[in-house]
Structure 1
Amino acid sequence: MGNSVSALKRDIDDARALRADALDVTPPNEDGRRPRPRTPLGTVVAFNDNVYHELSDLYDDFRNAWTGQGQDDRHLLLEKVLTWMAKNSHRPIEHKLESIVIGLLYKDLPHPPAGYLSLPDEHVVNRSLQKVPYAFRSADGSDYNVLWPSLGKAGLPYARTVSSTHPLPASSLPDPSLVFDMLLKRDKFEPHPAGVSSLFFAFADLVIHSIFNTDHNNPTINKASSYLDLSPLYGSSDKEFDTVRRKDGTGRLFEDVFADSRLLFMPPSACALLVLFSRNHNYTADKIYAINESGTYRPPRELTAEARLAQDEEIFQRARLVNCGFFMQVILGDYVGAILGLVRDGHSWRLKILDSYRDTDHAVAPRGEGNVVSIEFNLMYRWHAAISAQDTAWVENEFRELFPGKDLAKLTLDDLKKSYRSKMNSADPKAWAFGGLKRDAEGRFSDDDLAKIIQDATEWDAGAFKARGVPEAMKFVELLAIEQARKLGVCSLNEFRRFMGLKPYANFSEWNPDESVANAARMLYHDIENLELYVGMQAEEAKEPGPGAGLCPGYTLSRAIISDAVCLSRGDRFMTTELTPQNLTSWGYADVQFDTDDGSYGGLLTKLLFRTLPGHYGARSAYAHFPFLVPARFQGTMAARDGALVKKYTWDRPTPAEVRTDRDFPRSEEGYMARIGEIAGHDGYAVDTLERLVLGDAALATHRQSFARFADAQIRKESLGGEVKYVDVVRDVINMVPVYWIAALIKPRVQERDLEHHHHRGYHPEKYFEAFADLADYVYINTAPEDEFSLRARTAKFAQSIIEHIDAGSAMVHATRSDLITRIAFRALETLPKITLPGGGAASPTSPASPDFFMDSDAPCE
């Protein structure tokens, strides 16, 4: 880290030194020529004086934070840099700075690791992979790095990030029980200062259990791979895979299953979220099978047993790639967005960790080269202080049932092993249940029950990170962590900080200014250099909420989390170099992309909730868009930032959607009118008058002639070839004729040439078609709730643009323009064909979808 930070400091110093004045930024050489700045960052900053001034504060922050011993993280330099980039994402300098920051964070940790806790017995990798024309993840993490096939594989030792050179024999360290009682045991519950919800930490459980699974018979071994491969859902071996797979030719899993029984010992919200990812796998497999992009899938009943298994394998592996990609994007969008406070502050910008870029020396920046998690980071991800008050009560009740009559503070690892065996009365994941839920005849849990668990966790405040914040019920788990770290020779807190390029603490008061905590640590450890990594991170002073700070753990933990997130994601080739339409299918690749305009500020968990719990979240529900923030608290935060924005969301707890019948049809127009008013303004509706003026019998006869004229012109213009002509009837005729007709109707002077050559407001004719289709979709069609915000924004912008161009002399200007335009658009687009015609059937000659409809011989064609 130190060398990387020094390089960044040198770049900023170069930029400052190069600025002689606003234009002539460098003095000339003896030959009169001006030298070239030493770095690309220096070049960009030096030649943009405005950006220079904006970055000058960052330079001063850097100068103040850099001590010579390392970066003083109390100056929040990284947070300030990330916040600046979020606010200036449109500037070219941001992209260069972003690549530098990602490089720094990635290089915080060695690749590959320099040491391990032990040596593996043998480097065996999974060589049973099929030779197929697409890449997919092995079950155990083999072959993620093609040069080091076992790098990060499940069943191998943890890496050691920091080699400790500070003599710290266990006999000289304080009793773990005393350490817990004086520094870690919760004195009182304090809600998370930034309003982070309990559901955030339920999702964190999935992240943590994906990459850490310590073998209790040999704690140097990690039974999980070092990749975010959703192993709690699928497992970490082919044998575990087989417990959740149907293998029936569809690529699907059994209903609502997951492979990792450890999750049954977590609060129910973690299991509920994992079930949603299980459902998402099946949704994805169904889509891949139905779309059948390559045309090779057939109904399983038509296949031989061998062919059916091969088809199942391909669909399963592709669906798994998509689901893992979805999981990763939730991590980078929702999870990291909450950690950095980006969602809270209204920023949809995210670090583009997965992207390809070049370093300042033009070398290709490494990605997809593998990863191995370390023991230090295993200890880092034990966030028991953040357990909510409600989940604390659940843990206490579970432990009382598992250990009747036992003092929870005196439990041992043997007690835990025995309780595990007693709780796991079935090895079949199809029979597992949690939170008192029951499975139906098909093996599914009730949507209502899952939604209740998840919405409860969304409402519950997580606990604050702080010294003396861990529930007493977790004491034996904390003691195991302290004892394990000592046995494995884990480094001290200051050794870890030096390794990360952070300034080491000079004394206990600098580590935690709360004198009660500092004095207790001083009595236990005597010298700050003796403070253990695990205890030091858990009881360190926590950050305050602010720009770039959303999770608000201790300073050391906060810095390490971001570096680890970059390494975990950027080191995974299936999230980087192999994240392609070829492997995920075109539909799957599109499905894992962010929509930054969907109302959730760059999240993807919103789509998962809408998709897997249909009808349980309204399209504008804050519970769906911001599930990692407590709605009641975030509403006040958003209102203080933007009073108008807060009204675009609903803040009450969602209720299941009522079932509609044909008797409700007369009420549907109320919804249409409300949507029309939203996108074009509420100015009253003279619907009957408008329809007589524009959609009456006489008007329709005129419109029919216009359609015929436009259709003939389009066919002549778009036809290719000689004696035999070719024309794309759907794209160039059927899609475009209504566009020209609507344009001529609402502004008679707008002719085809105007749309073709002037593109007023930046729209091409094809874009007009898409915009009118969006208009009809938003107003009349039952759109997917995850598209509500982006569709409404696009539609409102287009509607206002069209209204402004309505001819002042037209019949509509004195009536209700907005409703009429929408109705006209819908009526016109009703005539358009469906792009997909099953069986290749042609439209009827009398159908509006047929070219003959527009070219009726009785209609005049000019």
Structure 2
Amino acid sequence: MVAAWLQFVIRDWFSHGTSPTEDPWVVPLAADDPWMQPPMRIMRTPDDPTRPPGATDLPQTRVNVLSHWWDASQIYGVSADEQKGIRTGKAGKLLPLPDDPAKDPSRVPGFWLGTEMMRTLFTREHNAICDRLRAEYPTWPDEELFQRARLVNAALIAKIHTVEWTPAVISHPTTKAALRANWFGLEGERVQRLFGRLTDSEAVSGIPGGKADHYGVPYSLTEEFVAVYRMHPLIRDHWHLRHVADDSTARDCDFRDLAGPNALPVLNDIGMADLLYSFGTLHPGLVTLHNFPRHLQEFRRPDGNFQDLAATDILRSRELGVPRYNEFRRLLGLAPAKDFHDLTGNPEWAEEIDHMYRDIENVDLMIGLFAERLPAGFAFSDTAFRIFILMASRRLNSDRFLTDYYTPAVYTQAGLDWVADNSMSTVLLRHHPQLRSSLASVVNAFAPWTTSGV
């Protein structure tokens, strides 16, 4: 569930667009390298079309073809045409899949079962929100219902990520309290539910409903943020899909069975409740060295070509101007690693990294992040945490729809109540009540669920 959610929200936040097929990066390989299409070719990130010609003295720049904001564009699209293709035109509601077969999402690079499950779940949630708004405002037309429901759905997704997903992967009492304070403030959820925002103070009453603040810098998601979210080891190679009723086996799959067009038959043949149960009870992979999914190192793209996503992740940080590990830490005000043994507490890893890089200053960011000792309760490194915690607040502070416009006049009181009253667990149970026993003893839906029959 952790991995599926992460890729779901990333598809709302950032994409550099479709890479050009001409002039790819060519990675030289050793003569005995088993890569099936030598030499390895990795398509380049598209150029920034707004960059002045010949501006070689300026820092690297690329564009984000998405919007940077919590607007749920992974559901609603980024253009009027995309949006039109997913709407029913009645009561503000959405279609389960685009009505144009030519826009089959399974043909888009990166599509897999996990992201489609989340998209389907929150498409249904959008439609449930429409039903609630229509009951409150029966004269509203399709467009009004759609736009208000989208705001509510996007805010609920932002809340779930802030107070549930992120605390699940940074599971330390102090950080969990701090992340919840981003949304509820020091007054806490219970007081806020009873009395609303007590003050204009972000510290006391949380960020949502407060004043937008850009801190003197126009908001955007940064390449450093993109780099630390490269967490492909969360994705498992092998998936034991099971039935929620009795935990019996539905199907054993490799990741390639769940990626691209292969995912749709699985989605159709195995019920959504069974899939959600399987994802909820399976543990994600560890974000460490020697745990990159084998199937993502030999990932077959929709165009038939193979891609090594581990190599691609390392190359992307270099290509996009993200500093190497030690310099990255210096720029964050953190102490750089003195040597390879200082970097990691694993002597074997230290020797392997030394053999590969020779100079600690050459270690790529992703390698350093994956090699670090993990703080207690953390699913990833302390260095990555610094970017996580900074952007967790900034994404909310700068968003007018989660600050100045987070009001009954914009969302409706019914919409604000929907966000306040719901969580990942309530969303799951609204659409799949069969999951009740598995979630009954779980405080956070991103923690492992109870296995049926246990």
Aligned to 1:209: 11
1:561 Cα shift?
1.5
The corresponding residue for 2:213 is: 367
Describe the superposition over 1:89-141 as per-residue Cα deviations: whole angstroms up to 9, x where unpaired: xxxxxxxxxxxxxxxxxxxxxxxxxxxxxxxxxxxxxxxxxxxxxxxxxxxxx
SS at match of 2:63: strand
- The one of 240, 243, 246 aligned to 2:85: 243
Gaps of 5+ in 1: 1-198, 298-310, 403-419, 425-432, 439-445, 596-603, 632-650, 656-862
> Contact between 2:211 and 2:403, CA under 8 Å: does it hold in 1?
no
Quick one: distance in 2 between partners of 1:478 and 1:499? 25
Deviations 1:689-732 (A, max 9, x none): xxxxxxxxxxxxxxxxxxxxxxxxxxxxxxxxxxxxxxxxxxxx
SS of 1:236's equivalent in the other structure is coil
Tell me the secondary structure at the aligned position of residue 86 of structure 2: coil
Q: 1:384 to 1:609 in 2, by over 3 A?
A: same
**Which residue of 43, 60, 68 corresponds with 1:226?**
68
CA spacing shift, 1:347–1:223, aligned 2, 3 Å: closer
Partner of 1:200: 2
Counterparts in 2 of 1:703-782, with a 5 A limit?
none
Q: 2 CA distance for matches of 1:531 and 1:318?
A: 47
- Among 458, 462, 468, which residue is 2:280 paired with? 458
How many aligned positions are there? 368
Does structure 2 conserve the Cα–Cα contact (< 8 Å) formed by 1:273 and 1:454? no
Q: Does the alignment pair 1:526 with 2:379?
A: no
Give the Å deviation of 1:456: 0.4
1:505 maps to a residue whose letter is A
Deviations 1:232-263 (A, max 9, x none): 11111111111101223x11111366985577
Q: Quick one: distance in 2 between partners of 1:495 and 1:570?
A: 28
How far has the Cα of 1:287 moved from its partner? Answer: 1.3
Superposed, 1:546-625 pairs within 5 Å as 549=377, 551-593=378-420, 604-618=423-437, 621-622=440-441, 625=443
Aligned position for 1:412: none
The question of whether the paired residues in 2 share the 8 Å contact of 1:618 and 1:654 is answered with no
Match for residue 628 of structure 1 among 429, 446, 454: 446
Query: Is the 1:338–1:628 Cα contact (8 Å) retained in structure 2?
Result: yes
Question: Residues 620 and 254 of structure 1: is their aligned pair in 2 closer, same or farther, counting only changes over 3 Å?
Answer: closer
Rounded to whole Å, the distance in 1 between the matches of 2:373 and 2:237 is 19
| C-alpha distance 492-345 of structure 1, shift in aligned 2 (>3 A) | closer
**Counterpart among 151, 164, 176 of residue 321 in structure 1:** 151
* 1:267 and 1:391 in contact (8 A); partners too: no
For residues 316-342 of structure 1, what are the alpha-carbon distances to aligned partners after superposition, in whole Å with 9 as ceiling and x for unaligned?
Answer: 110000000111111112112212326
| Cα drift, residue 629 of structure 1 | 1.5
Paired residues of 1:390 and 1:460 also in contact (CA < 8 A): no
> Highest CA radius of gyration, 1 or 2?
1
Name 1:381's counterpart in structure 2.
229
**Whole-Å separation in 2 of the counterparts to 1:540 and 1:451:** 36
Deviations 1:486-534 (A, max 9, x none): 2333211122212222122221111112122112222222222222223
Seen in structure 2, the aligned counterparts of structure 1 residues 350 and 487 have a Cα distance that, compared at 3 Å, is closer
Contact 1:342 1:348 in 2 (8 A): no
Distance in 1 of aligned mates of 2:221 and 2:95: 31
Conserved 8 A contact 1:227-1:572: yes
Give SS of 1:287's match: helix
User: Is the 8 Å Cα contact of residues 268 and 435 (structure 1) preserved in structure 2?
Assistant: no
In structure 1, C-alpha distance between the alignment counterparts of 2:322 and 2:234, rounded to whole Å: 24
Residue identity matched to 1:522: D
Aligned to 1:461, what secondary structure does the other structure show? coil
Q: Residue 512 of structure 1 aligns with which residue?
A: 344
Does the Cα contact within 8 Å between 2:233 and 2:292 map onto a contact in 1? yes
TM-score with structure 2 setting the length: 0.72
> Conserved in 1, the CA contact under 8 Å of 2:12 and 2:71?
yes
Distance in 2 (CA, whole Å) between partners of 1:388 and 1:520 is 24
How much has 1:391 moved relative to structure 2? 4.3
Q: Which residue identity does 1:492 align to in structure 2?
A: R
The residue aligned with 2:162 is 332
Indicate the residue corresponding to 2:201 in structure 1: 357
Q: Aligned residue for 1:277?
A: 122
**Aligned position for 1:139:** none
- 2:327 maps to 495
The amino acid that maps onto 1:531 is: V
**Is the CA contact 1:498–1:504 (under 8 Å) kept in the aligned structure 2?**
yes
**Conserved? CA contact 1:263–1:271, under 8 Å:** no
Contact 2:77 2:83 in 1 (8 A): yes
* Contact 1:280–1:323 under 8 Å retained in 2: yes
CA shift, 1:543, in A, is 1.1
Tell me which amino acid in the other structure corresponds to 2:96. E
Decide whether the 8 Å contact of 1:368 with 1:575 is kept in 2.
Answer: no
Inter-CA distance 358–242: structure 2 relative to 1 (3 Å threshold): closer
SS in 1 for 2:264: coil
Amino acid at match of 1:609: L
Shift of 1:485: 2.6
Cα shift at 1:345: 11
SS at match of 1:437: helix
After superposition, the C-alpha distances for 1:668-690 in whole angstroms (9 at most, x for unaligned) are xxxxxxxxxxxxxxxxxxxxxxx
* Gap change, CA 1:571 and 1:391, over 3 Å in 2: farther
Q: Alpha carbons of 1:358 and 1:555: their partners in 2 closer, same or farther (altered >3 Å)? A: closer
Relative distance call for 1:252 and 1:328 in structure 2 (3 A) is: same
1:434, distance to aligned residue in structure 2 (A) = 2.4
Q: Letter of the aligned partner of 1:507 in structure 2? A: D
| 1:279 positional shift | 0.4
2-structure distance, mates of 1:559, 1:284: 35
Shift of 1:265: 4.3
1:357 deviates by 2.4
Q: Percent identity?
A: 24
Specify whether residues 588 and 458 from structure 1 end up closer, same or farther in structure 2 by C-alpha distance, changes over 3 A only.
Answer: same
What is the letter of the counterpart of residue 509 of structure 1?
H
Indicate if the aligned counterparts of 1:461 and 1:630 stay in contact, CA closer than 8 A.
Answer: yes
1:374 Cα offset (Å): 1.8
Equivalent residues of 2:16, 2:65 under 8 A apart: yes
Give distance in 1, aligned partners of 2:171 and 2:107: 30
Moved more, 390-399 or 554-563: 390-399
Matches within 5 A, 1:799-838: none
Letter in 1 for 2:371: E
Q: Which residue pairs with 1:291 in the alignment? A: 136
**Residues 368 and 574 of structure 1 are in contact (CA less than 8 Å); yes or no, is this contact kept in structure 2?**
no
**Partner Cα separation in structure 1 for residue 212 and residue 374 of structure 2:** 32
Supply the distance in 2 between the matched residues of 1:522 and 1:616 (Cα, whole angstroms): 48
1:222–1:508 CA distance, 2 compared to 1 (3 A)? same
State the AA in 1 paired with 2:71.
D
1:653 aligns with 2:425: no
C-alpha displacement at 1:354, in angstroms? 7.5
Distance, in Å, in 2 between the alignment partners of 1:491 and 1:514 is 24
Q: Distance in 2 between matches of 1:396 and 1:269?
A: 10
